[in-house]
Amino acid sequence: MSKISIGIVGGAGYTAGELLRILIGHPQAEVTFVHSASNAGNKVSAVHGDLAGETELYFTGALADVDVLFLCLGHGLSADFLQKNVIASHTKVVDLGNDFRVNSTACGERSFVYGLPEIFREQIRTADSIANPGCFATAIQLALLPLTQSKLLQSEVHVNAITGSTGAGRSLSETGHFSYRSGNLSIYKPFAHQHLGEIEKTLRTVQGDSIPPISFIPVRGSFTRGIFATLYTECDLSGEEANSLYEKFYEHHPFTFVLSREVSLKEVINTNKCFLRVQKIGRKLLVTSAIDNLVKGASGQAVQNMNLMFGLDEAAGLKLKPIGF
């Protein structure tokens, strides 16, 4: 099988850097171009320093014909890019922004499939365009999917999730500076985070009827990468029944694991894994979910989707070692 030719647009950001790190080691991938209007002519490794010695690619301001195009643009910019540029009909598109996660037909001829493999794997296999899920959305949905598929999500869900600074992107803001983040915690967009729309859409699709409120408090952490989420809701299942439900749901998925012990964030950093722990405490079901926001929450999941779209092993190029300590 010939290698899959790949183009990356928005090549200077964190998600593009992670995408390159993964794709350079992918056995069936070949990066043809990395587009960045502001960095055209510069070496990719001059911006993504960790890739020095790994690639001799240069940024370009031009596009080329490829098998798959990854859009790593800022939120709200992908639809505009696709409208202004001619993309061949045979080119598959994976958008890592939020433009098509809720409105899948926001781009004329292309209809985007929501790229959460743990529930939409078969639709992804035949798709030509993928809306890659958001990072918080991935961690939260993976914690709730077994309940929704069994129509057991009936009571309000309370979510507290803390994310690393890379989740805010490479462009600096006041709350992204080291002097603000270091040794600090703060909440933002309580009950109104932009990922709630895609979460609620997926849960309604899976459960097939109305869903209870999702009360979500996002927290800025004083670390660079990862999401650690705790969710609880009232549930009639026993602890044994709940664990059995989750284990059965994820038994054929290569990256989501249900553990019988405490979950820690470092165990998933640098990987495409999601670690879950399910506990029943009184009437409440407590689910802990941990992912790397840049890998399973962004670029790793995008490659997982590419693998499915091209009929490859779902885990190709994604057997990544966590930092662990």
pLDDT band at 172 (very low <50, low <70, confident <90, very high): low
pLDDT digits (tens, 9 = 90+) for 188-201: 999 998 999 999 99
Sheet-wide strand order for 157-163? 186-187, 214-220, 157-163, 227-234, 284-291, 274-281, 256-259
Give the separation between CA 97 and CA 94, rounded to whole angstroms. Answer: 9
Q: Lowest mean pLDDT of 22-31, 141-150, 165-174, name the range.
A: 165-174
Q: Give the contacts of 117 (CB within 8 A, at least 6 positions apart).
A: 124, 253, 301, 304, 305, 308, 314
Cα-Cα end-to-end distance for the chain? 38
CATH 3.40.50.720 residue ranges of the chain are 4-132+296-309
CATH 3.30.360.10 residue ranges of the chain are 135-295
- Read off the pLDDT of each residue in 255-267 and give the average, rounded to a whole number: 97
pLDDT digits (tens, 9 = 90+) for 79-134: 999 999 989 999 999 999 999 999 877 666 789 999 999 999 999 999 999 999 99
* DSSP annotation string for 300-320: HHHHHHHHHHTT--TTTT--P
CATH code for residues 4-132+296-309: 3.40.50.720
| Active-site entry in 72, 135, 235, 274 | 135
pLDDT value of position 88: 93
Residue 250 scores a pLDDT above 70: yes
* DSSP annotation string for 206-257: HHSS----EEEEEEE-SSSS-EEEEEEEE-SS-HHHHHHHHHHHHTT-SSEE
Catalytic (active site) residue 235: no
- Measured CA distances, 88 to 62, 66, 105 (Å): 15, 8, 18
Q: What angle do CA 50, 47, 85 make, to 5 degrees?
A: 120
Residue 6 scores a pLDDT above 80: yes
Q: Which fold has domain 135-295?
A: Dihydrodipicolinate Reductase; domain 2 (3.30.360)
Give the separation between CA 38 and CA 2, rounded to whole angstroms. Answer: 32
Q: Lowest mean pLDDT of 117-131, 167-181, 207-221, 263-277, name the range.
A: 167-181
pLDDT value of position 106: 61
pLDDT value of position 103: 85
- The DSSP 8-state label assigned to residue 58 in this structure reads B
Give the separation between CA 293 and CA 259, rounded to whole angstroms. Answer: 20
pLDDT value of position 74: 86
